[in-house]
Amino acid sequence: MKVFVMIMALAVFAGCESERKKKEEEKETEESNMVKMEAPGEHKGEKVQGYTLPGLGHGLLQSPINILSADTEHDGKHHITLHFNDKFESVENLGHTVQLNFEEGSTLESDGKTYDFVQLHFHTPSEHLIDGVTFPMEMHIVNSLQNQDQDKPEYLVIGILFKMGKENPFLKDFIDKIPTEEHVKQMLPVGSVQMGDLLMEVGGKSSHFYYYKGSLTTPPFTESVNWHIMKVIQEASPEQIQKINRLEGNNARHVQGMYGRMVDSE
């Protein structure tokens, strides 16, 4: 009888131990699934904040941000004037993004400063949020301040958000020319890619963009960027957006804290 009781006790103990290990494994799996995809520049193995929550580290002027339209200030003091030649040198598959390089000669004037067009690239999904809304794609037109101190570079970046809709003529010009292999550059014949119609909405003095001081969204996260996020949302077909996403993956950095910064509505 004593032997029987002992066997039963061991069986119950083994069953409890098995159930405990099962619950521990389920908990570990759950915690593992909660670890978000690492944004560019984050430490390996670090659990980062969710995509729509402010990140930590790197400074107090970081980008991207969640723009709350009701909290913006209307002052109308920031303007953009374009001197654009509509000429591209090449398109590159950099692995982490698709990038078009401008030929020299196109410039932009803003707040008494002159910037050179350098390149444009894509993020899928969008990095900036408007009132908590994420868009499937965002394009950044990167401009560099002329004759600047290379130790303290300054940039003006125009952010254009895309929603799914009709086919975008600008994307159609080059999307089939993007190399499928990573770190490969494809030269573009002069006039083969045109974005003049798209940029017509950027120039002028009408109220059509959000402005704030921020940073690059990729390493080294330099905090010297004048951000201009266009209010008009562009359209691109689902196929166009999905093709770029297949090439570059999900490469959006999560939103950062405001730390007292204001966003101007222009």
User: How far, CA to CA in Å, does 127 sit from each of 51, 162, 235?
Assistant: 9, 11, 17
Taken in order 233, 239, 244, 246, the sign of the CA dihedral is positive
Residue at token pair 């932009």:
108
Residue at token pair 């990095």:
127
Question: Please, what's the b/e burial string for 210-235 (b: 16 or more CB within 10 A of its CB; e: otherwise)?
Answer: bbbebbbbbeebbeebbbbbbbeebe
Cα–Cα distance for residue pair 171/122, rounded to 1 Å: 11
The catalytic site residues sit at 96
Q: Which residues contact 222 (CB under 8 A, 6 or more apart)?
A: 153, 155, 215, 216
Cα–Cα distance for residue pair 42/251, rounded to 1 Å: 13
